[in-house]
């Protein structure tokens, strides 16, 4: 056939041969595009195994143990990768008619990544260890009064003193710790175990290797897929966590392509990232507030003073100037993402310098013409509106307080700012409640359970009522919400109105969680997160490589 075609072409004139070759070339190109389009039409792109991901952190992991986590991003993120929630392990969750007894049935054949079976013993051990006062577990408060019992290897039972509308969320989000690793260690020595940094887990990833400098600084923790995981095995073959001493080092590492992911970025730091990336700006149910301790300064006992302090703050300015728009204003004890949030209960519009001045004037606080600071004579003593505020050494929070200081100065209030590391705050003034005011963040659970933040029983450590707030009506509402079978929206609105009116704190803003990731990373859902570490909840579904397969 080719011989006959060759003879036919040679019999053509030069012009005819040019036309033929041109037509043939066009036909070949067209055929290629038709074939390509047909291939793409009958196939689809799917994730492929392979590739790796490296996440960067500022700071150090201290306890990669759900019973002891420091609450740092390094600890919580590593725990999210290595330890499963109870929700992912259970086959059945059943509640008794009186809502005081909860029975769970685990999935069959669960194992830890070292091959040891994961059973109801691990569930009971986790709860009882969290409750042990010698362990000093951050989980203790959530499990007070709960009795955990083993029924058999696959079943466990929780018994509550009173029904709780929020217990199911607490139970399903419980991170299980391995009894065979920690069970033989005395509670007081649990923090000394090497397994706190070389963990045995049952999540999608397993610990592989830790690298340290001679100084003891941990530089990297390497993870590999856990082939014994109850869910899907990760697509990627490696997941690494790298640690840096400060934000600049972490940003430099990102720009040098030493890491692909960097979370918890300051808005100004985000602008210094030069490598092409996608910036996820994630709104979480949390907020920062200025908590007033009325036990340490007489003026803070007066509602008008507290209301004036809150009213003078321009929250929209904080969002724009300090957070470059990556935040939302905060006005009350619930975040907008939480069911029951009611903006109408917060009486928006009352915040202004003029209103703040009127409140202080009406309460008898006079402006001293010599220094511009307001004062009131109480008994024989002159009390000044001068406060010291403890602020975490976080750049955007320090800039926030500088702005607030200026606004308070405009209404006759002097502010002294004391920066302090978060760790020192928690060990010192937060624990002893020794402060006049403190800037701190409340992280909500995705539901309106704010008992730990505002109930009077939580005034002292390890409670989280940083304002030492007491209101019997609020206490009754909070207790009632926990026991209710159906969430009472009316009571939630009243709760927000009462706290807003009492002003035990000046709510500031809800900063977005900024997360820099590569554009070729797929499979991650960064839209509906509850906590920063939730960004890593489904890393087994992340992928950077793809292949095509024929459509079904």
Q: Mean pLDDT, to the nearest integer, of 253-268?
A: 93
More confident: 105 or 28: 105
Q: What is the CATH number of the domain that holds 551?
A: 3.40.190.10
Give Cα 436 distance to the centre of its chain: 27
Statement to judge: residues 258 and 330 lie in one domain: no
Q: What is the pLDDT of residue 20?
A: 61
Q: What is the pLDDT of residue 164?
A: 87
Statement to judge: residues 272 and 310 lie in one domain: no
Confidence check: pLDDT of 2 > 60: no
Statement to judge: residues 41 and 172 lie in one domain: no
Q: What is the pLDDT of residue 45?
A: 67
More confident: 6 or 502: 502
Three-state secondary structure call for residue 139: coil
Q: Measured between alpha carbons, how far is 109 from 98 in angstroms, rounded to an integer?
A: 31
Statement to judge: residues 324 and 451 lie in one domain: yes
For the chain, give the mean pLDDT: 90
Q: What is the pLDDT of residue 1?
A: 56
Q: Mean pLDDT, to the nearest integer, of 234-241?
A: 96
Peptide bond into 165 cis (omega under 30): no
Confidence check: pLDDT of 58 > 90: yes
Confidence check: pLDDT of 13 > 90: no
Q: What is the pLDDT of residue 250?
A: 94
DSSP H helices in 415-471: 422-427, 429-432, 451-454
- 176 Cβ contact partners less than 8 Å away, ≥ 6 residues apart: 66, 83, 84, 86, 89, 118, 122, 123, 126, 202
Task: Evaluate whether residue 174 is within a structural domain.
Answer: yes
Three-state secondary structure call for residue 180: helix
Q: Mean pLDDT, to the nearest integer, of 435-444?
A: 94
Among 335-349, 400-414, 508-522, name the one with the lowest average pLDDT.
Answer: 335-349
pLDDT band at 11 (very low <50, low <70, confident <90, very high): low
Statement to judge: residues 187 and 226 lie in one domain: no
Report in angstroms the alpha-carbon separations of 180 from 119, 131, 469. 11, 18, 42
pLDDT band at 426 (very low <50, low <70, confident <90, very high): confident
Confidence check: pLDDT of 42 > 80: no
Calculate ∠ Cα 108-112-117, nearest 5°: 50
454 phi and psi angles, rounded to 5 deg:
-130, -10
Q: Is 239 exposed, middle or buried (0-12, 13-18, 19+ CB in 10 A)?
A: buried
pLDDT in tens, 514-544: 999 999 999 888 877 888 899 998 999 999 8
Statement to judge: residues 152 and 129 lie in one domain: yes
Q: Mean pLDDT, to the nearest integer, of 282-299?
A: 93
The tally of domains found in the chain comes to 3
Q: Which of 127, 162, 196 is the last residue of a domain?
A: 196
pLDDT band at 24 (very low <50, low <70, confident <90, very high): low
Give Cα 434 distance to the centre of its chain: 27
- The residue segments making up the domain with residue 99 are 84-196
Three-state secondary structure call for residue 332: coil
More confident: 488 or 1: 488
Q: What is the pLDDT of residue 47?
A: 83
Task: Evaluate whether residue 106 is within a structural domain.
Answer: yes
Three-state secondary structure call for residue 376: strand
Q: Measured between alpha carbons, how far is 258 from 242 in angstroms, rounded to an integer?
A: 9
Task: Evaluate whether residue 4 is within a structural domain.
Answer: no
Confidence check: pLDDT of 121 > 90: yes
Q: Mean pLDDT, to the nearest integer, of 156-172?
A: 92
Confidence check: pLDDT of 419 > 90: yes
Token pair listed for 4: 């006959």
Q: Measured between alpha carbons, how far is 387 from 370 in angstroms, rounded to an integer?
A: 18
Statement to judge: residues 190 and 207 lie in one domain: no
Statement to judge: residues 316 and 460 lie in one domain: yes
Statement to judge: residues 462 and 347 lie in one domain: yes
Among 12-26, 221-235, 254-268, name the one with the lowest average pLDDT.
Answer: 12-26
Statement to judge: residues 302 and 409 lie in one domain: yes
Task: Evaluate whether residue 9 is within a structural domain.
Answer: no
Q: Measured between alpha carbons, how far is 44 from 36 in angstroms, rounded to an integer?
A: 13
Model confidence pTM above 0.75: yes
Residues comprising the chain, all counted: 552
pLDDT band at 403 (very low <50, low <70, confident <90, very high): very high
Nearest alpha-carbon partner for 372 in 357, 351, 389: 357
Q: What is the pLDDT of residue 185?
A: 94
Task: Evaluate whether residue 74 is within a structural domain.
Answer: no
Q: What is the pLDDT of residue 345?
A: 76
Q: Mean pLDDT, to the nearest integer, of 273-281?
A: 91
Statement to judge: residues 172 and 271 lie in one domain: no
Confidence check: pLDDT of 272 > 70: yes
pLDDT band at 8 (very low <50, low <70, confident <90, very high): low
Q: Mean pLDDT, to the nearest integer, of 151-161?
A: 96
More confident: 27 or 456: 456
Contact 489, 504 (CB under 8 A): no
- Range among 132-136, 238-242, 486-490 with highest mean pLDDT value: 238-242
Q: Which of 196, 218, 243 is the last residue of a domain?
A: 196
Task: Evaluate whether residue 118 is within a structural domain.
Answer: yes
Nearest alpha-carbon partner for 318 in 195, 403, 204, 377: 403
Confidence check: pLDDT of 100 > 80: yes
Q: Measured between alpha carbons, how far is 418 from 385 in angstroms, rounded to an integer?
A: 17
Task: Evaluate whether residue 465 is within a structural domain.
Answer: yes
Q: What is the pLDDT of residue 10?
A: 66
Q: Is 311 left (phi over 0), alpha (psi -120 to 50) or beta?
A: alpha
pLDDT band at 378 (very low <50, low <70, confident <90, very high): confident
Token pair listed for 359: 């409140």
Q: Mean pLDDT, to the nearest integer, of 328-354?
A: 83
Give the DSSP letter string of 292-331.
E-TTS-GGGGSHHHHHHHHHT--HHHIIIIITTT-EEE--
Q: What is the CATH number of the domain that holds 507?
A: 3.10.105.10
pLDDT band at 138 (very low <50, low <70, confident <90, very high): confident
The one-character DSSP state at 159 is E
Q: What is the CATH number of the domain that holds 189?
A: 3.90.76.10
Token pair listed for 344: 């109408």
Confidence check: pLDDT of 61 > 60: yes
Q: Which of 196, 230, 245 is the last residue of a domain?
A: 196
Token pair listed for 492: 């939630």
The one-character DSSP state at 487 is -
Task: Evaluate whether residue 468 is within a structural domain.
Answer: yes
The one-character DSSP state at 459 is S
Statement to judge: residues 329 and 428 lie in one domain: yes
Q: What is the pLDDT of residue 547?
A: 76
- 436 Cβ contact partners less than 8 Å away, ≥ 6 residues apart: 292, 293, 296, 297, 300, 387, 388, 389
């Amino acid at each position: 056939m080719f011989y006959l075609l060759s003879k036919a072409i040679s019999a053509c004139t030069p012009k005819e041969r040019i036309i033929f070759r041109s037509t043939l070339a066009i036909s070949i190109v067209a055929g290629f595009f038709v074939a390509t389009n047909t291939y793409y039409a009958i196939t689809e792109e799917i994730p492929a195994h392979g590739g790796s991901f490296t996440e960067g952190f500022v700071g150090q992991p201290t306890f990669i143990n759900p019973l002891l986590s420091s609450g740092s991003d390094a600890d919580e993120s590593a725990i999210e990768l290595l330890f499963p929630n109870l929700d992912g392990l259970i086959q059945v969750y059943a509640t008794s008619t009186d809502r005081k007894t909860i029975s769970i049935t685990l999935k069959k054949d669960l194992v830890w990544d070292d091959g040891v079976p994961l059973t109801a013993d691990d569930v009971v051990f986790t709860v009882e260890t969290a409750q042990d006062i010698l362990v000093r577990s951050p989980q203790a408060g959530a499990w007070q009064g709960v009795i955990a019992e083993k029924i058999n290897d696959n079943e466990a039972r929780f018994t509550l003193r009173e029904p709780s509308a929020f217990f199911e969320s607490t139970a399903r989000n419980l991170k299980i710790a391995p009894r065979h690793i920690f069970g033989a260690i005395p509670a007081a020595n649990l923090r000394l175990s090497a397994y706190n940094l070389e963990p045995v887990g049952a999540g999608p990833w397993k610990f592989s290797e830790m690298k340290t400098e001679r100084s003891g600084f941990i530089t990297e923790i390497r993870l590999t897929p856990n082939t014994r995981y109850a869910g899907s095995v990760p697509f990627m073959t490696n997941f690494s966590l790298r640690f840096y001493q400060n934000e600049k080092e972490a940003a430099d590492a990102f720009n040098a392509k030493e890491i692909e992911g960097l979370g918890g970025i300051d808005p100004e730091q985000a602008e210094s990232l030069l490598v092409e990336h996608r910036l996820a700006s994630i709104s979480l149910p949390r907020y920062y507030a200025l908590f007033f301790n009325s036990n340490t300064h007489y003026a803070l006992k007066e509602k008008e003073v507290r209301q004036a302090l809150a009213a003078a703050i321009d929250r929209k300015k904080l969002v724009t100037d300090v957070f470059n728009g990556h935040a939302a204003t905060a006005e009350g004890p619930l975040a907008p993402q939480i069911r029951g949030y009611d903006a109408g209960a917060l009486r928006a519009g009352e915040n202004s310098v003029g209103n703040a001045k009127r409140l202080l004037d009406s309460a008898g606080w006079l402006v001293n013409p010599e220094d511009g600071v307001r004062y009131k004579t109480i008994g024989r003593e002159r009390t000044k509106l001068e406060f010291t505020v403890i602020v975490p050494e976080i750049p955007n929070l320090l800039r926030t307080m500088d702005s607030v200081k200026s606004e308070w100065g405009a209404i006759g209030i002097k502010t002294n700012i004391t920066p302090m590391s978060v760790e020192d705050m928690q060990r010192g003034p937060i624990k002893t409640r020794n402060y006049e005011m403190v800037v701190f963040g409340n992280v909500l659970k995705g539901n309106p359970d704010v008992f730990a933040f505002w109930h009077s029983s939580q005034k002292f450590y390890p409670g989280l009522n940083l304002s030492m707030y007491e209101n019997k009506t609020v206490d009754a509402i909070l207790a009632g919400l926990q026991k209710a079978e159906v969430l009472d929206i009316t009571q939630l609105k009243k709760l927000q109105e009462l706290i807003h009116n009492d002003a035990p704190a000046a709510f500031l803003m809800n900063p977005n969680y900024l997360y820099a990731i590569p554009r070729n990373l797929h499979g991650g859902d960064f839209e509906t997160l509850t906590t920063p570490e939730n960004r890593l909840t489904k890393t087994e579904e992340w992928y950077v490589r793809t292949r095509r397969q024929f459509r079904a």
